[in-house]
Amino acid sequence: MLTAVITITAIALIAGVGLSFASRRLPSSDGDLVDQVNDLLPQTQCAQCGYPGCQPFAAAVVDGQAAINLCPPGGEDTVRRLADLLGRDVIPLAEPVTPAIAVIDEALCIGCTHCRFACPVDAIVGAHQLMHTIIESECTGCELCVAPCPVDCISMRPLG
């Protein structure tokens, strides 16, 4: 009886010391997890989640600071995949949006270049005082270029 108790206690002690050592000294896998979460995000870099890009949002999600339903461009699918990966519950999207891309009304554009600096993926081409246009295939639909335009010549065109 006593031997058994001592043996079990000894094993528990050794395992406990080993585990606590491992958790402190070995590199945490949070970095990989952030990458994994980031891989599931649509990379629109739209900041609609309240973080300055997809990677910071991924870090916040892993940290537990951000909910998983804050990514509107990702849609319900992304929420579901994040829930799968992180073992959390599927929750409805905070603000659903329809996928769209930005379009510049080229007749109105005055070439102020403000939108060009706002675009997170460099999908706007144009030069100072010359017409700007959006590279359709590269636009992620983040809407970040809409607000800076002084003549309101950028609109969002729904896809599909």
Partner 1 sequence: MSAPTYDLGTLHGGLRLPGRKTESTRHAILNMPIPSQLILPITQHVGDPAQPIVGIGERVLKGQLIAESEGSLGAPVHASSSGKVIAIEPWPVSRRYGDTAPCIVIECDGKDEAVKRADTPINFTQLEAPDVLQKILQGGIVGLGGAVFPTAQKLMQARTCEIDHLLLNGVECESYISCDDMLMRERAGEIISGAQILMHALQIDVCFVVVESDKPDAIRRLGDVLGEISDGRIILKQVPTIYPSGGEDQLVQLVTNREVPSGGLPSDVGCLVQNVGTAAAIHDWIIDNEPLISRVTTITGDGVANPINVRARVGTTIADIIEITGGYTEQARQLIIGGPMTGKSMITDRVPLVKATNCVLVLSETPSSGPELPCIRCGDCASVCPIQLLPQQLFWYACADDEKKMRDFGLMDCIECGCCDLVCPSHIPLTADFRVAKGRIRELADEKARAARARLRFEARNDRLERERTERESELAGQKASARKAGAAAIAEILKRKQKKSEDDE
Whether 45 contacts 71, CB under 8 Å: no
Instruction: Kindly report each contact of residues 133-141 with a partner whose C-beta sits within 8 Å and lies 24 or more positions away, as own/partner.
Output: 133/104, 133/106, 134/101, 134/102, 134/103, 134/104, 136/101, 139/101, 139/102, 140/42, 140/43, 140/44, 140/45, 140/46, 140/73, 141/44, 141/46, 141/73, 141/99, 141/100, 141/101, 141/102
∠ CA 70-147-143 to the nearest 5 degrees?
45
41 binds partner 1 (CB under 8 A): yes
Contacts (CB under 8 A) with partner 1, residues 61-120: 120
For partner 1, the binding residue among 37, 42, 59, 101 (CB under 8 A) is 42
54 binds partner 1 (CB under 8 A): yes
Size of residue set near partner 1 by CB under 8 A: 13
44 binds partner 1 (CB under 8 A): yes
The nearest distance, CB 152 to partner 1, in angstroms, is 24
The nearest distance, CB 89 to partner 1, in angstroms, is 18
Nearer Cβ to partner 1, position 53 or 60? 53
Give residue 98's identity as a one-letter amino acid code.
Answer: T
The nearest distance, CB 120 to partner 1, in angstroms, is 5
Contacts (CB under 8 A) with partner 1, residues 113-142: 120-123, 138, 140
The nearest distance, CB 56 to partner 1, in angstroms, is 12
Task: Tell me which residues touch partner 1 (CB under 8 A).
Answer: 41-45, 53-54, 120-123, 138, 140
